[in-house]
Amino acid sequence: MDWYDNILELIDMRSFSNLWFWIALAVVWSTASHWVLGVPFDMVARARRYGGQSAEDLEDLVRINTHRLLFIGQVSGLWALGFVCFSLTALGLLGFVYKVEFAQALFLLGFPLSIVGALNLSTARLIQAEGAQGEALWRRLTRHRTWVQAVGMMSIFVTALWGMFQNLSVGPFSG
């Protein structure tokens, strides 16, 4: 069993002291802020800069993705909402009541992403209701991206604080 202890010492299995968790957190939030309603944000910049075919491509892709999101919301929205609420509640209870660190990490990833999902639906409804095109669409997508980045920054900040607290309370400095 000595080799098993050596492996577990080498690869820390706790979430907040594991480098892979922090890499995953960075990848999740960089991806969430780059893909705005399923559209890469560089397309917004290209449409704003060049117009023409780039703007048409952006409008087509946004139209397709907003219709897709709203259709999914109408068809299975209540079921999806129930599943997400159940999952987040279970993770929250396991993590913060029963002190399961892995569940805490998943909750701190999943809860802010559920806020981003709600923002996606709201923005898709606004774009469809306004029939946004051109400059109005670009402003709406930029505003949405700013909100997603704000949620991401808050999430990273709270996760980092909680992770430091966990590492200090469980680690070698805890006494």
pLDDT tens for 141-174 read 999 999 999 999 999 999 999 999 988 887 665 5
- Look over the chain and give the mean of its residue pLDDT values, rounded to a whole number: 91
Give the pLDDT confidence score for residue 134 in this predicted structure: 85
Give the pLDDT confidence score for residue 63 in this predicted structure: 96
Confidence of residue 57 (pLDDT cuts 50, 70, 90): very high
Give the pLDDT confidence score for residue 16 in this predicted structure: 86
pTM here?
0.86
14 backbone φψ class: left, alpha, beta (φ>0; ψ -120 to 50): beta
Secondary structure class of 39 (helix, strand, coil): strand
